Structure 1
């Protein structure tokens, strides 16, 4: 299989040096895996060009007592102390959360929020099978509507889950973090605010004159943390650019891949927002190194019926640059 033929939303690559294999995780798609159910599947490759058919490594319905069996979004796998940890987002529309109070714009959504959050599962192999650590609840606080949890281990060795707090609950979506126990089995303490979606001032800069600039919502999606050689901390994240006025007076725009930098290297910031790396309805990317030490970014495009797109990247200090799209690998588009 090759990337143009592979359904691929929220892609995440693990480059395993021991076997010189790239593991590419995404939400289970029964049309290609042949397995029904919400979960995670993985493609494998030795060259980023030719991939094996996917193997299902996690199914929510097979987890006894699991709190939710819908979603399966944004899976990612991290090796820690010889074991492999899967983060993926589930949700349960039948478990409502309190309707948030009106913000400065009122409440711009007609329905109540419901339970959504990232679970943690563990396995002895990158091919699973993964078993959920706590089937009773998501890893972040269950009263928060969250998604896209990712792992970050700070210089002191403290593991964190960094996640997006849904705009559905906050109106102005946020990035937050919560400490994890050393074995990632539970959270420690309370969430820490990192930044909000509207901090990216470029989101609204193309809004035509006469249209209010402070319009909800501000979406935060897909965090991934990457320490840079100069000691800074970089975070890839995605949002929607508000660059077109609609007939009803609202403003809409496309999904974009952007990033932020904490120059001090501290997870708590302060975070400086940078301009988008890739537009064209693209996003939820992550960085990884090839076996010949090239810095690569993979993301999905378009948002619907998504395929994986690969970009060769360059770091200059803590400025991240796109060198070229690897159309030889991803088929272009």
Structure 2
């Protein structure tokens, strides 16, 4: 029953995202952040332009000078219509990373017309590139970053202690039955991957995420979502990631015992954020404050929406501490 519920929730958001992406909204200015409807928010602080750039599911871009009011959205991703993605791929959980003078757009692309396995639509993590944070972002040489028959999502970037850049992503729980967080090495220019993926941890490793089995007994939830890596000021490597506690979207974290992506990853016993908050990432403001942006769920006139929220973060110790909501 739990699986059917989660599938229903995911289908709702998927169909809502389809409608949103097929009908781009008008460009607006001076929009308060709590009036923006956005799942999986990601904020890049660009000191060169003294501007904050926010993207997420839908793949569009918002811009701000103060984090309070925003202008957008604008389309920035230019995919190849002749590629496996097709002419109008769905875009989930987009991120923008600056690396060695260029800007890279990590996102999950879905082609509803292609099947990867059974009735599951082909969905995969991919990277686009631009010379500017506002794009346009265009494809690089490698057509796929991960195996075509492997459903992956929510890719992010991390440079490990070996100095090599890695894509960290989730392998879809709908396909493997127990969602994973994995890593794979990127080529130096991010134009593709090399080597084989390596498992970091399983959804079922978490002590806090739960669902009910067919006998109404508590078992570990199988969803992994939205990984985000960070280091505290003391050098401790951690990861934020999101799952469910029954029907409540919830974010937790784990810390690496070795200080590298190889772990082992020790899961925290309790969630990190309030209920109905998740898919968070951290960034520094233009004045150097560490902040966390994530989305929360809210019902408005019978419609279930997602809204970005920004919190303060204290990373002075071995573990980060959630502060108050700022915006």
TM-score (norm 2): 0.82
Aligned mates of 1:195, 1:316 — CA distance in 2: 26
Aligned mates of 1:52, 1:129 — CA distance in 2: 17
Shift of 1:280: 2.8
Gap change, CA 1:289 and 1:13, over 3 Å in 2: same
The answer as to whether partners of 1:162 and 1:178 remain within 8 angstroms in 2 is yes
Number of the residue aligned with 1:236: 240
Aligned mates of 2:316, 2:250 — CA distance in 1: 21
2:60 corresponds to 1:53: no
Aligned runs of 1:103-122 on 2, under 5 Å?
112-122=119-129
SS, match of residue 176 in structure 1: strand
Q: Which is worse superposed, 286-295 or 172-181?
A: 286-295
SS, match of residue 257 in structure 1: strand
2:172 corresponds to 1:166: yes
User: How big is each residue's C-alpha offset from its partner over 1:55-107, in whole Å with a ceiling of 9 and x where there is no partner?
Assistant: 221144xx2423123320000011112111101111123322335xxxxxxxx
Shift of 1:121: 0.4
2:319 corresponds to 1:315: no
SS, match of residue 24 in structure 1: strand
Aligned mates of 2:167, 2:122 — CA distance in 1: 18
Aligned mates of 2:130, 2:111 — CA distance in 1: 24
Number of the residue aligned with 2:228: 224
Aligned runs of 1:1-333 on 2, under 5 Å?
1-28=31-58, 40-60=59-79, 63-68=80-85, 69-99=88-118, 112-134=119-141, 136-137=143-144, 139-204=145-210, 211-214=216-219, 217-242=221-246, 253-274=247-268, 275-302=270-297, 304-326=304-326, 329=327
SS, match of residue 150 in structure 2: coil
In the TM superposition, structure 1's runs of 4+ consecutive aligned residues that sit over 6 Å from their partners are none
Number of the residue aligned with 2:23: none
Aligned mates of 1:155, 1:79 — CA distance in 2: 19
The answer as to whether partners of 1:297 and 1:312 remain within 8 angstroms in 2 is yes
The answer as to whether partners of 1:234 and 1:318 remain within 8 angstroms in 2 is no
The answer as to whether partners of 2:142 and 2:192 remain within 8 angstroms in 1 is no
SS, match of residue 277 in structure 1: coil
Shift of 1:281: 1.7
Number of the residue aligned with 1:248: none
Shift of 1:140: 2.1
Aligned mates of 1:207, 1:57 — CA distance in 2: 41
Aligned mates of 1:114, 1:51 — CA distance in 2: 33
Gap change, CA 1:119 and 1:207, over 3 Å in 2: closer
Alignment RMSD, CA only? 2.0
Task: Give the number of equivalent residue pairs.
Answer: 288
SS, match of residue 218 in structure 1: coil
Aligned mates of 2:72, 2:296 — CA distance in 1: 20
Shift of 1:26: 2.4
Number of the residue aligned with 1:36: none
SS, match of residue 54 in structure 1: strand
Structure 1 gaps of 5+ residues are: 29-39, 100-111, 243-252
Gap change, CA 1:97 and 1:27, over 3 Å in 2: closer
The answer as to whether partners of 1:255 and 1:279 remain within 8 angstroms in 2 is no
Shift of 1:214: 2.8
Aligned mates of 2:141, 2:243 — CA distance in 1: 30
Structure 2 gaps of 5+ residues are: 1-30, 299-303
